[in-house]
Amino acid sequence: MTRRSLLRPEFWSLPYRLPRSHLLIHGIRTAFRSLSRSFQLVASADRRSTITLFLLTLFSAALPAAQAFVGKLIVDTIVRATNDHITVQVGLRATLPFLLIEFALIALTTTLSQYRTLTEHVLHTRLQHTISTTIIQTALMLELPAFEDSTFYDKMQNAQRDAHLRGMTIINTSFMLIQNTLMLLSFIVVLFTFSPLVALALLGATLPSFLAQTNSSTRHFGLLAWHAPKARRMSYLEYLLTVDGSAKEVKLFGLGKSLLKRYDDLFWAFYHEDRALARRQSTISILSGLLSTLSYYGAYVYIVWHTLTHVITLGDMTLYLMLSRQSQATFQALLTNISEVYESALFLNNLFDFLDLRPQTPGDAHLRRLSQPLRIGIEFCNVSFRYPGGENWVLRGLNLRLAPGEKVALVGANGAGKTTLIKLLTRLYAPTEGHILLEGIDLREYDLDDLWSRIGVIFQDFVHYQSTLRENIGFGQIDALDDDLQLARAAQLSSADDIAEDLPHGYETMLGQWFERGHELSGGQWQKVALGRAFMRDAEVLVLDEPTAALDAEHEYEVFQRLHELIAGKMVLLISHRFSTVRMADRIAVLDGGRLTEIGTHAELMALGGTYARLFNLQAEGYR
């Protein structure tokens, strides 16, 4: 993937080295586009907490100015009492109401702050769950090609990265933006009554810092987006170096140091660019901070001078100095809020880009449903296929028919296209050219969920679920997970019932080693469990991809004796490299280079003396 190829409308892949003006303008548009969706997302997570935060924001905004004004009244009352030489008791009585009001305001501020923290915690937890489920729901909706595309994983990496934190940040910061805006307005009203020049000088001095932060946020976002593939590569290397599935080879092949070095190299490549960006931002922040400090002390001197010349009272000086400091800090916070909202909106746009992904074949309420039983069968009509973005044809001009109740075996060398054919039959992919007909109707016209519910499948790379034996088998028909009779039948057909008898808690035993009290199975035992998963489904079409590859000869023979019972009257598509297994099929189809070169019974193909006969004789020679 070249840098030029990343210059697409999706901002997630926008290189951070674009010209600053273009990058900033694009970033602003992207941020505002995702801001409203961010609020909708947060509100959907917990509407009550979102409204509560908004109300707390309004109350909190009014408190600082009120506290400052009460502080002025306290100082003026004390100065007046001192100048008039009144008694301490009288002075205290005059000051006490203002002190009580100030205490009440401070107590209210503390209470609101704690309640806000509690509300934010509740909302953050709910938002984290909402974002996770929406990402998973989107992934479940997408078709298999997405999961075999590296750019899809880059998008998902960008969507998942900091999405939970950014979602909460954007709502907190947005409410703080509102609060700071209201506070600042109250400060400005008071300061403008004293001196518009002071107010403008205090606010204007913070603008350079804001512009620097906004530009830095844009470039930081671009840097992370540009490095998404490297970050995903780092995650993969970390996974390889730390999980049980790869630990054996990593140790025996001495891969640890080499893979760790690759991980380290990827880190340092990102680190140096990130450090350069951070140094630049730090320099600008120091300079802008000095400017803000200088403007504040200029206002400080101006206010003190007016106090010494008796233009304003000591209480007024206290009020103006307090508001000067708070207004500048609030304005700086407000601009920081804008920068943080902007940056968070950029990152959340990655999430929304991912959530906007749609399957190539959208759902349709009018899609067909299968009738029972099958009368015509399945037919591949001049089917050709190549993977998205690929140039080579995996299948080319394939014509094949499977009649109801027929058992057809597929044989051929690795890479001949056998597993791809299964993906097409099960509608995980659609043909690039040609049609696959089921009951004379294109597969694309059927409801996918209904179609998949009628097909029993075991893939060669079946999943080892880190879950109970019951669930590892029952996942084949999830709505029958608690049906003990159906589960026992599937386990018996696959010989997984023997495994259950040897486990300490039978079907409730945890399999794998990821979780506490888990029991690891051998390769052959896992294969029996996967077969049981396929047998859970009383499907009219069975697709078996190397169903006994990990079994020894004795258990393979036992399974296939039981398999005859299971597949009676069913349409079966079988892939196997063991010709003893293939011979049970009614017909055998030979794939070579993505083309169907031979088809017939075992006897017919042996008599033909072609590819099948050669492969069969080579395998048979090994047993002599």
3, pLDDT greater than 50: no
pLDDT computed for residue 405 by the predictor: 85
The pLDDT value given to residue 10: 38
| Higher-pLDDT residue of 473, 563 | 473
Residue 480 reports pLDDT greater than 60: yes
Q: Does the pLDDT at position 45 exceed 50?
A: yes
pLDDT digits (tens, 9 = 90+) for 542-577: 888 876 666 666 666 666 666 666 667 788 888 877
In this predicted structure, the answer to whether residue 364 has a pLDDT above a threshold of 60 is no
In tens, the pLDDT along 377-407 reads: 889 999 999 887 778 888 999 999 988 888 8
Which pair of tokens denotes residue 17? 């080295």
Residue 201 has pLDDT above 80, yes or no: no
Both tokens of residue 353?
């880009």
pLDDT value for 384: 92
And the tokens for 301?
């001197």
Q: Please write the tens of the pLDDT for every residue from 68-124.
A: 778 778 777 777 777 767 777 777 788 888 888 888 888 898 888 888 888 888 888
Mean pLDDT of 193-216: 62
Residue 410: its H or E element = strand 407-411
pLDDT at res. 16:
41
Q: What pLDDT is attached to residue 8?
A: 35
Domain chopping of the chain, boundaries: 31-355, 404-419+447-621
The pLDDT of residue 297 is above 70: no
Judge if the upstream peptide bond of residue 504 is cis by omega within 30 degrees of 0.
no
Pick the range with the lowest mean pLDDT from 183-187, 420-424, 540-544: 183-187
Pick the CATH number of 404-419+447-621 from 3.10.450.50, 3.40.50.300, 3.20.20.140, 3.10.150.10: 3.40.50.300
> Cβ neighbours of residue 438 under 8 Å, at least 6 residues apart?
370, 374, 377, 378, 446, 451
Q: Among the listed ranges 126-130, 175-179, 207-211, which one has the minimum average pLDDT value?
A: 207-211
pLDDT tier at 234 (50, 70, 90 boundaries)?
confident
pTM of the predicted protein model: 0.61
Give the mean pLDDT of 440-466: 82
Check residue 43 and give its pLDDT: 82
Could you give the CA distance from residue 237 to residue 149 in angstroms, rounded to a whole number?
Answer: 19
Given a cut of 70, whether residue 422 has pLDDT beyond it is yes
| pLDDT band of 224, cuts 50, 70, 90 | low
Of residues 154 and 77, the one with the higher pLDDT is: 77
Superfamily name and number for 31-355: ABC transporter type 1, transmembrane domain (1.20.1560.10)
Separation between Cα atoms, residue 262 and residue 317, nearest integer Å: 62
Question: How many Cβ atoms are within 10 Å of 422's Cβ, its own excluded?
Answer: 20
3-state secondary structure labels for all residues of 6-47: HCCCCHHHCCCCCCHHHHHHHHHHHHHHHHHHHHHHHHHHCH
Residue 2: count other Cβ atoms within 10 Å of its Cβ. Answer: 6
State phi, psi for 81 to the nearest 5 degrees: -65, -35
- Bridge partners of 381? 435
Are 579 and 567 contacting, i.e. CB atoms less than 8 angstroms apart? Answer: no
Round the average pLDDT of the chain to a whole number and report it: 75
341-347-348-353 Cα dihedral, nearest 10 degrees: 140
